[in-house]
């Protein structure tokens, strides 16, 4: 279809701008229902179905029925919420390293929150944020402290966005929180939804293979994200406009402490959302391929975050796929990065039963 180099370049640009909307056009009929039931079972631990009529209805449709930001009145509240959505989708122009107001340059890269939290945080299995307001405040295993929604959002500011925390009282933070609170209005108390996170595809019983993943990346991803993984900035003269296609590694990407740098997260995200425009209703990348491609992407160079060895004061709370030590168990860092994870999970369950906690020696 796109034979010449110029054609490919144009397609990459076009897709970066246009394909996000394709999801809304996907058929939502029978296959969706069958897959939803299967997915519902597969994701039970993370996203159990709450017993409310609205939650039940929302579990059976391809896209959620959510409050419409555009229907809010043009008053202070409506404007704040709409500004919040804008910060989420046009992040670099508000708080990026090239934002017009130097005092607001809090993010360290030009990613948008919505490059990962797809469709402005409203896409099933596209790391949606509709339950975020209901999920906090809650205990954070990563920090060992109780976290507010603003604290959690700063987790993404310092890791996914490779930057600094946003001041709680800044307009951007207040607006993001207002937007997330509005999204959360249709979520039952306790935040139990079907379609949260990135999904839960079956795990491999072998380590994921970055070499096989490299070949699959070339075939399925390089077309948009580039052979060097650096993505496609919309306008090199105006980087605050963000990416048509965001980078997957390199200096402009998320850092090594980010959730997307964990294999289980990226493999599921890729299976359910990539190539961009794909949805969980009709995935394009087979689970086995998604694991190997994910392994390839997380093996590439990216910004490093200092002090990761102090994450998770209780090492038994550390996710099995955290790509950095120390660990409570004796498995190698390589196995924590690439799996298989089932033996690690079994060892952690034994340790939990025996010891209850394993304090992180780096946390004083
Ligand atoms: C059609 C072009 C296209 C293809 C092909 C594609 N992507 Fe993407 N990808 C995008 C776009 C555009 C976004 C941002 C989506 C948004 O902002 O709504 C994205 C977002 C992502 C993200 C989250 C943002 C980030 O920078 O980390 C990851 C991870 C990702 N893609 C991985 C992949 C992988 C792996 C493949 C190959 C299996 C792939 N993509 C194929 C266009 C594409
Ligand atoms: C590179 C991808 C990426 C980017 C960019 C990103 N995030 Fe995240 N975010 C994640 C991942 C992965 C998680 C963990 C999701 C999970 O546990 O289900 C997460 C979790 C969150 C949560 C907690 C959700 C919950 O219900 O627990 C919030 C809130 C959040 N992000 C907000 C933001 C905001 C605001 C921005 C922009 C300033 C942002 N994120 C940018 C990947 C990203």
- Domains annotated on the chain, with CATH: 48-186 (1.10.760.10), 308-355 (no CATH)
Give the number of the atom of ligand 2 that is nearest the alpha carbon of residue 161.
5
What count of other Cβ atoms lies within 10 Å of the Cβ of residue 60?
Answer: 14
Q: Is the pLDDT of residue 186 over 60?
A: yes
Alpha-carbon torsion, ordered 81, 87, 90, 92, to 10 deg = 170
Is residue 245 classed as helix, strand or coil in its secondary structure? strand
Do residues 132 and 193 make contact, with C-beta atoms less than 8 angstroms apart? no
pLDDT of 63 reads: 84
Q: What is the mean pLDDT of the chain?
A: 87
- In this predicted structure, which of 28-32, 51-55, 289-293, 343-347 has the lowest mean pLDDT? 28-32
Site to substitute for ligand 2 among 93, 94, 115, 160, most atoms within 8 A of C-beta = 160
Nearest residue (by CA) to ligand 2, atom 16, is 197
Q: Is 156 in the pocket of ligand 2 (CB under 6 A)?
A: yes
Q: What angle do CA 129, 130, 131 make, to 5 degrees?
A: 95
Per-residue pLDDT, 48? 38
Cβ–ligand 1 distance for 198 under 6 Å, the answer no
Residue 153 in contact with ligand 2 by CB distance below 6 A? yes
Q: Which two tokens stand for residue 21?
A: 């909307």
Q: Is 136 in the pocket of ligand 2 (CB under 6 A)?
A: no
The residue count of the chain comes to 364
Quickly count: other Cβ atoms within 10 Å of residue 165's Cβ: 15
Q: Which are the contacts of 68, defined by CB distance < 8 A and separation ≥ 6? A: none
Check if the beta carbon of residue 166 is closer than 8 Å to that of residue 154.
Answer: yes
Q: Which of 347, 321, 349, 325 is nearest to 335 (CA)?
A: 321
Whose Cα sits closest to atom 37 in ligand 1?
A: 221
Q: Which whole-number Å values give the CA distances from 159 to 41, 107, 155, 189, 263, in the listed order?
A: 31, 10, 6, 28, 16
Q: Between 28 and 203, where is the model more confident?
A: 203
Average pLDDT over residues 231-250: 97
- Given a cut of 70, is residue 1 above it in pLDDT? no
Which residue is closest in CA terms to ligand 1's atom 31?
274
**243, containing H or E segment:** strand 243-245
Residue tagged 């307009």 (tokens): 171
* Per-residue model confidence as pLDDT tens digits over 304-349: 999 999 999 999 999 999 999 999 999 999 999 999 999 999 999 9
Higher pLDDT, 14 or 321: 321
Which ligand 1 atom is nearest residue 118's CA?
18
Cα(120) to ligand 2 centroid in Å equals: 11
Mean local confidence (pLDDT), 24-36 = 34
Q: Which ligand is nearest to the CA of 259?
A: 2
* 297 burial via Cβ count (<10 Å: 0-12, 13-18, 19+): buried
Q: What's the Cα-to-Cα distance from 262 to each of 183, 225, 259, 342, rounded to whole Å?
A: 26, 19, 6, 16
């Amino acid at each position: 279809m796109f034979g010449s180099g110029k054609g490919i370049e144009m397609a990459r640009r076009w897709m970066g701008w246009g394909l996000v909307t394709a999801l809304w056009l996907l058929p939502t009929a029978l296959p969706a229902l069958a897959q939803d039931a299967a997915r519902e079972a597969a994701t039970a631990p993370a996203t159990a179905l709450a017993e409310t009529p609205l939650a039940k209805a929302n579990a059976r449709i391809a896209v959620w029925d959510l409050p419409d930001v555009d229907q809010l009145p043009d008053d202070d509240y409506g404007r704040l919420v709409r500004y919040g959505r804008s910060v989420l989708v046009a992040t670099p122009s508000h708080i990026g390293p090239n934002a017009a107001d130097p005092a607001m340059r809090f993010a360290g890269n030009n990613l948008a929150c919505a490059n990962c939290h797809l469709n402005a945080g409203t896409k099933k299995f596209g790391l949606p944020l509709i339950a975020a307001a209901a999920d906090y405040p809650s205990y954070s295993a990563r920090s060992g402290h109780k976290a507010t929604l603003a604290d959690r959002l700063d987790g993404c500011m310092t890791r996914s966005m490779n930057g600094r925390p946003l001041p709680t009282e800044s307009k951007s933070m207040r607006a993001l929180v207002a937007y997330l609170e509005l999204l959360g209005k249709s979520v039952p108390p306790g935040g139990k939804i079907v379609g949260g996170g990135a999904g839960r595809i079956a795990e491999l019983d072998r380590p994921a293979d970055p070499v096989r993943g490299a070949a699959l990346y070339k075939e399925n991803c390089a077309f948009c994200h580039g052979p060097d993984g650096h993505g496609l900035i919309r306008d090199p003269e105006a980087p605050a406009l963000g990416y048509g296609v965001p980078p997957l590694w390199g200096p402009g990407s998320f850092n090594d402490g980010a959730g997307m740098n964990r294999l289980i997260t990226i493999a599921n995200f890729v299976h359910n959302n990539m190539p961009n425009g794909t949805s969980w209703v009709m995935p394009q990348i087979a689970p086995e391929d998604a694991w190997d491609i994910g392994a390839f992407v997380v093996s590439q160079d990216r910004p490093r975050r200092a002090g990761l060895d102090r994450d998770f004061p209780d090492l038994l709370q550390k996710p099995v796929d955290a790509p950095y030590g120390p660990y409570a168990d004796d498995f190698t860092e390589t196995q924590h990065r690439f799996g298989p994870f089932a033996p690690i999970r079994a060892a952690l369950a034994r340790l939990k039963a025996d010891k209850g906690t394993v304090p992180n020696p780096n946390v004083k």
